[in-house]
């Protein structure tokens, strides 16, 4: 079952520009938001409770504006990231036509809130 309360809480924190952890690498870190490596500007918003959690995938329209397009139960998404990313890009194209997804050089290019780079040690 989709964790609506957890999703509302995490999305609220993100929208308010409060503390989120962000990663741009596939590693053992457990960020709130991660850019999927190898996929054209597809991001995963990670809801971790209740376990195993959910992933809301989407793309940035512009800085601070993440458009979440689809949600997946973490178990069902396992080993399906390529297919899921293709669906996100198709959804994007259907909604926004030729509008290219926003990209940035570093986290400050995507977000202006309080961000911790989860790829760097404390």
Does residue 28 register a pLDDT over 80? no
- Mean pLDDT computed over 91-114: 94
What does the domain layout of the chain look like in residue ranges?
Answer: 4-117
pLDDT category, 29, cuts 50, 70, 90?
A: confident
Does residue 24 register a pLDDT over 90? no
Does the predicted model carry a pTM greater than 0.75?
yes
pLDDT of residue 121: 78
Give Cα 102 to chain centroid, integer Å. 13
Q: Which pair of tokens denotes residue 15?
A: 């929208």
- Positive or negative: CA dihedral 46, 28, 65, 20: positive
- Mean pLDDT computed over 76-94: 95
Does residue 9 register a pLDDT over 90? yes
| Average confidence score pLDDT of the chain | 92
Regarding predicted confidence, which is higher, 120 or 89? 89
List Cα–Cα distances, 20 to 32, 65, 77, 106, 117, in angstroms.
Answer: 6, 15, 22, 15, 9
List Cα–Cα distances, 91 to 10, 62, 65, 70, in angstroms.
Answer: 23, 17, 16, 9
Contacts of 54 (CB under 8 A, 6+ apart): 2, 3, 7, 47, 71, 72, 73, 74
């Amino acid at each position: 079952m989709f964790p609506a309360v957890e999703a509302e809480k995490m999305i609220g924190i993100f929208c308010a520009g409060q503390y989120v952890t962000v990663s741009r690498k596939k590693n053992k870190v457990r960020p709130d938001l991660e850019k999927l490596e190898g996929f054209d500007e597809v991001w995963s918003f990670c809801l971790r409770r209740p376990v195993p959690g959910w992933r809301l995938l989407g793309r940035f329209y512009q800085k601070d504006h993440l458009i979440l397009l689809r949600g997946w139960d973490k178990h069902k998404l396992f080993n399906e990231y390529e297919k899921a990313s293709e669906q996100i890009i198709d959804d994007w194209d259907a909604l926004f036509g030729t509008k290219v997804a926003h990209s940035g050089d570093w986290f400050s290019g995507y977000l202006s809130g309080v961000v911790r780079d989860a790829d760097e040690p404390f």
